[in-house]
Chains A and B, each alone.
Chain A
Amino acid sequence: MPYSKNTNKRQQRLDHDRPIARRQVQPRRRYPRQLCLVLLLCMGLTNPAPLWALEVLTHPDVTDPAINRQMLRAVFSMRLRQWPDGTPITVYVLKPSSEVHIAFCKEVLGILPHQLQRSWDRLVFSGTGQAPIEVESLAEMQRRVLATPGAIGYLE
């Protein structure tokens, strides 16, 4: 379901005054992947003043309606590794020094970027988890999220 249709419902679930925008393209069954990408780009172009500057981007097959801040934190801190349907989660982020990444951490996750980095380091060097995959640009993020089932990233 597109995010806009149940805004009120989702806002009630959030534990924070700032709602989390999530952009999810239509399921693949109805649109081929190329179309999804076009649709996504068009949405970006026809929306010069978006309500939220940052949005969560997921692969079209990810249809979990309950993505709230708590879940996003669990996903981006690499604690949660699978969606409720069992699909492995692949997390994409920009370079930790990028402005979009910093804004995403602070505004959407509510975590300080260096704290998030430290928690990834603790996972990586104690054998208990992994860090997300780093991409060079938002364009690459978009391409790879849409090409990877179970993937999640963000958009400006």
Chain B
Amino acid sequence: MNRPDRTRLSLPRCLLALWLLYGLPASSSADSNPATHVHIHGFLTQGYTLTSANNFFGDSTDEGSFEFTELGINGFWQFSPRLHAAAQLLSRRAGSGSDGTIRLDYGVLDYRVLSDENQDFGARLGRFKNPLGLYNDTRDVAFTRPSIILPQSIYFDRTRDLALSSDGLQLYANRRSTEGEWEFQLGIGRPDVDDKDTELSVLGGNRPGELKDETSYIARLMYERDGGQIRLGITHAQLNMDYRPGMPDPSGPGSIRFSPTILSAQYNDERWSLTGEYAKRPLKFGNNIVYVPPPLKDITGESYYLQGSYQFDPRWEGLLRYDVTYLNDDDRNGRFIEALSGGARPAYSQYARDWTVGLRWSPNRAWMVRAEHHWVDGTAWLPLQDNPIAADTERRWRLFSLLVSYRF
């Protein structure tokens, strides 16, 4: 209902239907080669969030909130070594921002034009995961995250739908040598910008018109050495949107361009792992969009985090992270926007500095329990739908979270 564009029979839906049609009968036949079977995997995650002030994933102050549930199921069908189809359905409930609606997270037909021991080259058609940084490809799968809440400086939950996946074509090329592995992906497609949180965070409020996705580009180059001991990456994306005014609307139409560049680095040792990512995030608005005052029509955000984790034994892992976000490089302390908005947008809404400690316990591979604590200064990445009135938020706040996850 709130996503009218997703109800029509889109390309990914057709691909999914195709996959189901072709996949189900064949998977029941007795095939002697397991490499051509269909594979089904999934996960269930439930979280609890308690904050000292400000709401995160629901009404999290006082009693805390259980409004954080992630459910996913995926299928992978190998037609031949060169051709496969894959799709994942995802339901995510996270406060007012995500209501648990089932959506197609990805649905692709993947064809490898070339593949030998030294290289692969191929294409994916359909809805593909946007390869942003180290974690975006699997950001809703608790087992693949380093913590309950991803470092928000890079993996904003506010604009998560914009970052999730795109409908279009993705080309990939991998090169393997004794010096390491190179992985390159280039995607051309339309991101999903229909959700309210994206509109709120991009346009600063619920506007009469709507945001429409436009053709966007995402490229990532990853280099891995010694089987992933060293991982380096650079991502550049150009996400294009259009503002289409509503019937009574003081604003004219205009384009919005978000073009982040992310540098990623990770070092993994037997017991410890060190990760850092840095991003510059330019955001440009068309002149006719009146909701954004002229001095804020061309701003650049900056973010980075440093994260260390240590495995006490294979079951127990500890985490320490420092995560920094500035929404506007020219107004890091937020005083300019506070004055401009007459106090409606507090200075501390323009930055966030977050210290996180966390603990993971994995009794076996199917189950995982996590606990973490955040000390946050600033509200730059606080979900807007959970906190509709900026003046009611607090600058310094703490967040405690527990999470249980199961996968198969």
Contacts and interface: CB of A to CB of B under 8 A. Distances in A.
B176 interface: yes
A122 interface: yes
Given A71-B117, A112-B270, A90 B35 contact: yes
Interface residues of A, number: 41
Given A121-B144, A125-B74, A149 B117 contact: no
Interface string B348-385: 00000000000000000100000000000000000000
Contacts of B268: 112, 115
B116 to A, nearest CB: 7
B88 interface: yes
A80 to B, nearest CB: 6
Contact of B82 (A82, A84, A90, A119): A82
A32 to B, nearest CB: 18
B37 to A, nearest CB: 9
B177 interface: yes
B81 A81 contact: yes
B29 interface: no
B227 A112 contact: yes
A114 B88 contact: no
Given A79-B176, A86-B81, A126 B129 contact: yes
- Size category of the B interface is 35 or more
Contacts of B6: none
Interface string B121-154: 0000000110000000110010110000000000
Contacts of A73: 176, 227
B117 A80 contact: yes
Contacts of A86: 81
A148 B31 CA distance: 11
A118 B106 CA distance: 20
Nearest to B137: A126
Contacts of B87: 127
Interface string A91-112: 0000011000000000001111
Interface in B93-129: 106-108, 110, 112, 115-117, 120, 128-129
Given A121-B144, A148-B32, A74 B81 contact: no
A89 B74 contact: no
Given A110-B227, A115-B229, A125-B144, A80 B33 contact: no
Interface in A99-156: 109-112, 114-119, 121-122, 124-130, 133, 148-150
B30 to A, nearest CB: 13
Q: Which 5 A-B pairs have the closest CB atoms?
A: A111-B227, A127-B86, A82-B81, A88-B35, A15-B178
5 contacts: A77-B227, A81-B112, A112-B229, A127-B106, A130-B78
